Amino acid sequence: MAKPNAIAQIINQQWPYIDSNCNSYQKRIFHAIRSCRTPVLGGHLYLCDSCHRKHYRFNSCRNRYCSQCQNTQKEAWIEARQNQLINTPYFHLVFTIPHELNPLCLQFPRAIYALLFRVSWQTLNEFGWNHKYLGAQIGASMVLHTWGSNLSLHPHVHCIVPGGGIDLRNKWRNAKGNGKFLFPVIALSNVFKAKFLKGLEQLQLKMDGPTMALLKNKEWVVYAKPPFGGPDAVIKYLGRYTHKAAITHHRILKHDQHSVKFSFTDYRHRNQKKTMSLTASEFVRRLAMHFLPIRFCRIRHFGILSSQWKSKIFPTASKQPKIDWIQRWLEKGLDVFKCPHCKKGKLQYVAEIAPGRGPPIFIF
């Protein structure tokens, strides 16, 4: 039986803390993560036709916060995006809100994160229709991340934007930056700040006056990365970011009942690799901060990349045949039915293991 990963071990050790300090929704997520690929979720028994060794394969939890899951979902999502690539430079922008808003993010996550999506798109769309920069309907794929590399609360939206759009004559028009930049980031930052603060006032959330004054006087920054080298670079980037968990067990260096030590990248100091130690309960608390509200969609498409435009621009995208994932993984060099012990035989299905039970006893 495969041992649970490091995150699952930490969750098991800290379950008394979780049971006392987390709500029912967070508990269900933690339980799914610690149960992933264990007998709790059931599975299947296979037998190698060469070495006759038994192999137990337990079901995954498929939870979007589990670092062991989402690989197939990620590949399927990338496959869909590959069928919707436009032959134009792609740009990467990041809209970040100041850390002074973190208390509101924890108290009203659905409202604040929805506002972040809405204002980010409104800002891009306004610049897209501006004839000074483009004068056309642009599009964007946006992914919400709430974490920093050290698991702190750092809400931001990654935006992948094609370098052009469709004008009122239904013609494609390229952005005027000659593929080097999309829109001026200083102007983007000022418009984004103004729109977000106006949206905050409309939400009428409880916020003290000094904090609002600080937000108005503070400089907000929209980060613009260099344009992608081509469509392949876009796909590789999307695969790395879209179905990402806050932390994977590979980054955890050491843990026990009292503390967790993990590696992280310090982006503020030239991407230096560092380590951080937290108490085990604080590590769990930080994980729970990044659980989005139930059924909150963290990957969204706008403009010409939205569902309303897909049938017009990508008429064949919705007609793609169903993917044979066994064959797909085989093409990538992974034979899921190859015996991991003898490396020669094929695994043959024997029986299903019911959830909540240990492996059944068979006599061969």
Cβ–Cβ under 8 Å, residues 246 and 147: yes
Helix runs in the chain, H state only? 6-13, 15-21, 24-35, 71-82, 102-107, 109-129, 185-203, 209-217, 231-241, 280-289, 307-313, 325-331
Residue-wise pLDDT for 294-306, tens only, equals 999 999 999 999 8
Report CA 180 to chain centroid distance, whole Å: 27
Which amino acid type is present at position 217?
N
> What pLDDT does residue 319 have?
55
> What pLDDT does residue 234 have?
75
Distances from the Cα of 131 to the Cαs of 127, 158, 173, 189, 218, in angstroms?
8, 25, 11, 19, 29
> What pLDDT does residue 2 have?
37
Rounded to whole angstroms, the maximal C-alpha distance in the chain is 76
> What pLDDT does residue 127 have?
96
DSSP type of residue 23: -
d(CA 165, CA 145): 26
Instruction: Report the SS3 class of residue 345.
Output: coil
> What pLDDT does residue 363 have?
35
Q: Residues of the chain whose pLDDT is less than 70?
A: 1-4, 231-232, 314-325, 357-364
> What pLDDT does residue 295 have?
92
Which bin fits 151, alpha (ψ -120 to 50), beta or left (φ > 0)? left
> What pLDDT does residue 183 have?
92
The whole model's pTM is what?
0.88
Closest by Cα among 209, 108, 199, 190 to 155: 108
d(CA 37, CA 348): 19
Pairing of strands 43-48, 164-166: unpaired
